Amino acid sequence: MRMRDWLATRLEQLHYFLLPSTCLLCGAAGAASRDLCAGCAADLPRNSHACAICALPLSLDNQIGLCSPCCAQSPEYDRAFAPFCYRPPVNFLIRRLKFNGRLSHARLLGELFADARAERGAPWPDCILPVPLHPLRLRERGFNQALELARSAAYRFQIPLLAQGLRRTRYTTPQTQLDARARQTNPRGAFTLEQPLPGSRVALVDDVMTTASTVAECARVLRAGGVADIEVWIIARAGGER
C-alpha cells in the first residue's frame, strides 16, 4: 500500500470515530448511523431474482430459479448468497475499497450484507472464512478485502471468524487480467486449509464473484477437509442472464 493510501485509510478510521455518518455516495447525512443515506440505499442494485445455487442474476422470465450451468452441474459449494449485482454504485464502492484502501466502504458493505443475510435466516454456519490473499498481494494492498467485509457479519451473528483458516500458497495472476478460460484454471491448487474447523458448516466470504473459479477451488479444499456444508457469502454477483 502506498504511503498516501495508508494515510488516507488511517484518517478515514479517525473520521469514523469523530464525525457523524456521511453517505459515501452523495455526501448527504447518513441514515441509521450508516455511511449511506436513505435515497442512495433505495437505489442500490439488489440481486432479488437470482439462481438459488450460484446467485447469478436471472432474467425475469426464468421461472425455475436456477441458471442453466447449475441445472447442468452442481458447483463445489452448496449455495451462494449475494445481495447485490456488481453494477454501479456497488462496483464503485468495492473498487474504492480494494484499490484505494477505503475501509469505511468495507464496513458499510459488510453491514448491508449482514442486513440482507439476517433476513434470509437459517441455516447458519459454524464459522466464517475469508478467501485469502497471497502474502505478496497482502503486503502490497495492506489488508484483505474479504476479511474486512466478513467482520460485520461475524460480529452481528456472533460466529467465529477464522482469518487464517485458508491460506493461498501460490501467487496467481489477478482474475481481472485473464480471459474466461484462463480464469477457470488459474486458482487450481492455490489454497490449503490451515487449521481444524469448529463444526462442519462454513461460510466462505469474498467481495465479488465472476466465474466462481476462486470460490470453487476454496470449496474443493474445504470439502476435502471434511466440511459438510459450504455457503458462499459474496457482496456482489457479476454477470447474469440476458
- CB distance 59 to 85 below 8 Å: no
CB of 66 to Zn ion, least distance (A): 6
Residues between 5 and 24 with contacts to Zn ion, criterion CB under 5 A: 23
Q: Which distant-in-sequence residues (6+ apart) come within 8 Å of 104 by Cβ?
A: 12, 15, 16, 24, 35
* DSSP string covering 105-150: HHHHHHHHHHHHHHHH-----SEEEEPPPPHHHHHHHSS-HHHHHH
Q: Which distant-in-sequence residues (6+ apart) come within 8 Å of 185 by Cβ?
A: 213
Q: Does 40 bind Zn ion (CB under 5 A)?
A: yes
Q: Does 44 bind Zn ion (CB under 5 A)?
A: no
CB of 70 to Zn ion, least distance (A): 3
Report how many residues bind Zn ion under the rule CB under 5 A.
12
Q: Please work out, in degrees rounded to the nearest 5, the angle formed at the alpha carbon of residue 98 by the alpha carbons of 95 and 103.
A: 105
Q: Does 218 bind Zn ion (CB under 5 A)?
A: no
Out of 44, 50, 58, 67, the only residue in the binding site for Zn ion (CB under 5 A) is: 67
What does the alpha-carbon distance between residue 154 and residue 160 come to, in Å, rounded to a whole number? 6
Site string for Zn ion, 46-65 (x = CB under 5 A): -----x-xx-x---------
Q: Does 93 bind Zn ion (CB under 5 A)?
A: no
Out of 9, 37, 218, 219, the only residue in the binding site for Zn ion (CB under 5 A) is: 37
By CB under 5 A, name the binding residues for Zn ion.
Answer: 23, 25-26, 28, 37, 40, 51, 53-54, 56, 67, 70
